[in-house]
Structure 1
Amino acid sequence: MKLSELTGYLESLAPLTYQEEYDNSGLIVGNPDADIHQALVSLDCTEAVVDEAIAKGCQVIVSHHPIVFRGLKKFTGKTYIERVVAKSIRHDIAIYAIHTNLDNMDTGVNARICQTLGLQNCRILSPKQNLLKKLVTFVPDNYAGKVRDALFNAGAGHIGNYSDCSFNTNGTGTFKGGADTDPFVGEPGKRHLEPEVRLETVFPANLESKVLMALFMEHPYEEVAYDLYPITNQYQNIGSGMVGELETAIDEASFLQLVKYKMKTPVIRHTNLRGKAVKKVAVCGGSGSFLLKQAIAAGADVFITADFKYHEFFDADEKLVVADIGHFESEQFTQNLLCEIIRKKFANFAVRLTEVNTNPIKYLI
């Protein structure tokens, strides 16, 4: 298949518009029209991973972390980034990254951590704003059902765990077509009154083209009247971190041992134990110290993440237990998630999980 088929599908699940401003997710190296037969999935794209892709005959590497965050001005091979990019180009291997856009999905990195730890009733810890729009359109009574269905099928009408959400008001529309018009009802040059439905629904901003195309395809009028409004509401399905609950509360020491085992980490750096039971748990794969206040506000007993600095541990202020399990350790199962996603969609496409441990941090136990 074409590389664009794979990247297009991944971006339908984790749109690039959901990545953070500093990020560089998407196709970093490669021709979208290139034919691909095998993909290698990894957390990082290192030289060893590129060598593995060459040895296994893979045409694309799908990694979580982008190998390039900032623009490259030279390709002298002086840095590992330059060497990785040069080698991948030389061997015609595409590199695709799906980073913070996957982090911000409620089915992404943090959802896999929650699943691994057996958390229930999970939700986004810090939902994002300004990612939604509202569509208002006016449809003849007899066509309102068809237009509604088309909009819902295009991805509109989702609010939290509810779908097919809209508001409908009956009224009367007026219009007068010009001499060159061919109105669906009424006559050119004469004012017409038509019983209509004012149909309102919300949709993710990245689906605007798809939603409008559905509207235009099903709406019977020659000129479709519609309004678009930006919405500042939080988008509950998109954002940073997640918070969930254990089925049964356990003591802090036992929970940290469970985390150590489930997350396959050799060491956990943590704040003082408070002598309280653990029921609610917040998680953030990768560097999550920026979510400490949100974890406290959510009432979490423990916040599992990585890359906490020395002074940031003090900020917990005995309000919860911070458990820093390591960056690689917190995101290592993302590789498995990506393999599952690709295999489920492309049953006849070969997907390989890297055998390279890309964790740059070693532990002396």
Structure 2
Amino acid sequence: MKLSQLTSYLESLAPLAYQEDYDNSGLIVGHPDQEINQALVSLDCTEAVVDEAIATGCQVVISHHPIVFKGLKKFNGKTYVERVVEKAIRHNIALYAIHTNLDSVMDGVNAKICDTLGITNTRILTPRHGLLKKLVTFVPVEQAEQVRKALFHAGAGHIGNYSEVSFNAGGTGTFKAGEGSNPYVGEVGMRHSEAEVRIESIYPANLESKIIMALVLAHPYEEVAYDLYSLTNQNQQVGSGMIGELEEAMDEADFLAGIKASMVCKVIRHTALLGRRIKKVAVCGGSGSFLLKHAIAAGADAFITADYKYHEFFDAEGKIVIADIGHFESEQFTQQLLCELIQKKFSNFAIRLTKVNTNPVKYFI
């Protein structure tokens, strides 16, 4: 298949619009029309991973972390980033990253951590603002249902676990068709009144062009009237971190031991134990210290993340147990998640999980 078929699917699950400003997710090297028949999945895109792709005949490397975060001015092989990009281009291997956009969705990185640890009843810890908009349009009564169906099919009308959500109110629309027009109802030069339905529906802002196209194609009028509104509502399906509950409360030591076993950690850096049982748990794959106050406010007993600095551990202030399990360790199962998602959609496509351990942090035990 074409590379664009694979990347379009991944971006339907984790839209590029959901990545953080500093990020560089998406197709980094390669052409969308490139033919592919197998892909290699890894957490990081290193030179060893590209070598593995070459050796196994993979035409694309899908990594969580982008190999390129900022602009490259020279390609002379002096840095590992330059060498990776050069080698990929030379061997016609596409590089694709799905980073903070996969961190931000309900079924992404943090959901995989929760599944691994048996955390249930999960929700996004800090839902994101500014990702939703509202469409308002006016349709003749007889065509209202066909327009609603088109909007829903294009991705409008989702609120939490509910779909096909809209508000509808009846009214009368008036218009006078001018010279050169071809009105669906009424006559040129005569004001016409038509019983119409006002349809309102919320949609993700990144789907706007698709939503409007669906509206225009399904609407009977030659000139389609519609309004677009920006919303400040939270999108409960998109944001940072995740919080949920263990099936049964655990002693702190047993909880940490369980994390070490399930997440395959060499070591866990943690704050002082508080002598309380652990029931509600917040998680954030990768660097998550910015979410601590939200985890405390949400009533979490423990917060699992990585990359904590020395002084940041003091911020727990005896209110929560911070468990820093390591960046690679917290996100390592993202590789399996990507393989599962791709195999579910493209059952005949060859997908390989890298055999390279890309963790740059080593432990002397």
What SS class does the counterpart of residue 35 from structure 2 fall into? Answer: coil
| Equivalent position of 2:325 in the other structure | 325
Separation of aligned partners in 2, 1:168 and 1:31: 44
Instruction: Read off the aligned partner of 2:245 and give its amino acid letter.
Output: E
Structure-2 separation of matches of 1:245 and 1:17: 30
The residue aligned with 1:37 is 37
Give the Å deviation of 1:179.
Answer: 2.2
In the TM superposition, residue 237 of structure 1 has moved relative to its aligned partner by 0.4
Partner deviation per Cα, 1:293-340 (whole Å, 9 max, x = no partner): 111111100000000000000001111100000000000000000011
Deviations 1:63-113 (A, max 9, x none): 000011011111121111111111111111111100001111111000100
What amino acid is aligned across from residue 157 of structure 1 in structure 2? G
CA distance in 1, matches of 2:280, 2:28: 38
Give the letter for the 2:85 counterpart. V
Question: Could you tell me how far apart the structure 2 residues matched to 1:245 and 1:147 are?
Answer: 41
Question: Once the two structures are superposed, what CA deviation does each residue of 1:132-171 show, in whole Å capped at 9, x if it has no partner?
Answer: 1100000111111111111111110011111111111111
Deviation per CA, 1:161-212, whole angstroms, max 9, x where unpaired?
1111111111111111112222111111111111111110000001111111
Please report the RMSD computed on the Cα atoms of aligned residues, expressed in angstroms: 0.8
- TM-score scaled by structure 1? 0.99
Instruction: Report the 3-state secondary structure (helix = DSSP H, G, I; strand = E; otherwise coil) of the residue aligned with 1:291.
Output: helix
Counterpart CA distance in 1 for 2:252 and 2:167 is 47
SS at match of 1:315: helix
2:22 corresponds to which residue?
A: 22
Counterpart of 1:68 in structure 2 is 68
Q: Which residue of 2 aligns with 1:240?
A: 240
**Residue type of the partner of 2:342?**
I
- Pairing 1:304–2:304 present: yes
Moved more, 285-294 or 185-194: 185-194
Does the alignment pair 1:155 with 2:155? yes
AA partner of residue 11 (structure 2): E
The list of structure 1 runs, each at least 4 consecutive aligned residues, that deviate by more than 3 angstroms after superposition, is: none
* Aligned-pair identity (%): 73
Where does the alignment leave 5 or more consecutive residues of structure 1 unmatched?
Answer: none
Q: Pairwise mapping of residues 1-365 of structure 1 onto structure 2 (< 5 A)? A: 1-365=1-365
Q: Counterparts of 2:314 and 2:217 in 1: how far apart (Å)? A: 57
Using the alignment, how far apart are the partners of 1:165 and 1:4 within structure 2? 31
AA aligned opposite 1:101: N
Provide the aligned length of Structure 1 versus Structure 2.
Answer: 365
d(CA) in 2 for partners of 1:144 and 1:351? 44
Gaps of 5+ in 2: none
Give distance in 2, aligned partners of 1:5 and 1:327. Answer: 30
